[in-house]
Amino acid sequence: MKYNDINFNNTTILITGGAGFIGSNLAFYFQEHFPKAQIVIFDCFRSEEVFSNGNLKSFGHYKNLIGFHGDIICGNLNSITDMERLQKYNFDYIFHEAAISDTRVYDQEIIMQTNVNSFYTLLDMAKTMQATLVYASSAATYGSQPSPQTVGKENPENPYGFSKYAMDQIAYRYIDENPEMTIVGLKYFNVYGAREFFKDKTASTIIQFGHQILRGKAPRLFEGSDTIVRDFVYIKDVIQANIKACNAKKSGVYNVGTSKPRSFQDIADILQKELGTDYGTDYFPNPFTGYQMHTQADISSTKKFLGYTPEWELEEGIKDYLPEIKRLYDEEVNI
């Protein structure tokens, strides 16, 4: 499905983090619908390095790009030499998805270097090339603010959330100084869908619960999960928001969610219904203090200025995603 009237054919498109979850979905969207577009992916790809919490330092994976025909540059946002490789192109659109996105990484220096310092470089590149810039912000900027979470009422509570908050403030200033540019930040809520598997432990509960059920086990949920709700948004709606951001009526920062929060228990129950199982639920105590119990995106400005309307209810999104969950279980998990 094409989400707006822009013809991306014969344009040059940069996707940072293009081997990751959202970036790779964007790449295939353009490849499928605009075969004459020149698509350039910039990603550091994964190594065996991990953070102190044991999670991988990079989630980019070659398997997310099997079938991709564009240019691929393996590079790091923190490397001046790697970033200079992008200067040989003249980009019309820049989608900046690359980041350290693990909310439980507390090394402030590496997060700020990777997420914030590189943003200045990409903003300057967009200005020089007269490119539209769409970048990934995050609902993590809100911390534990009450629902509905509204742009302008942020209170980040971890280094990742703060780095995205800092990027938003930089973007606002750049927008004021360069009104001729289109710069849009998208605060993603809980995104799920194809090509998230290689996010490993930080992949959505939807694929994690799905694979638990396919193992023949009851999904493991925190006690009281029927009252823990999140704004789960399907990847196809996230792609819609990115595409519509390219001709935004107004540059700025916008929430990307459904504004219809659902519980973790809902996810487990929908999956069991679709898979024809009845394993019940394996509850265990929530080990986290200060755990956020409710998120809900205020998408009124997103609708007004981007023309974004979420199209996927949780039931329909899970049903659409299920064949991929099964395929990954057979090919990557149950081996």
**CA atoms of 176 and 88, how far apart (whole Å):** 28
Angle at 158 between CA 81 and CA 160, to 5 degrees: 25
**CA atoms of 131 and 89, how far apart (whole Å):** 11
Residues 6+ away with beta carbon under 8 Å from 64: 19, 20, 21, 24, 195, 198
Which residue is catalytic, options 29, 135, 187, 199? 199
Adjacent-strand bridge partners of 254: 186
Which residue is catalytic, options 135, 142, 160, 165? 160
Q: Active-site residue 236, yes or no?
A: no
Q: Active-site residue 160, yes or no?
A: yes
**CA atoms of 29 and 236, how far apart (whole Å):** 10
Indicate which residues carry an active-site annotation.
Answer: 160, 199
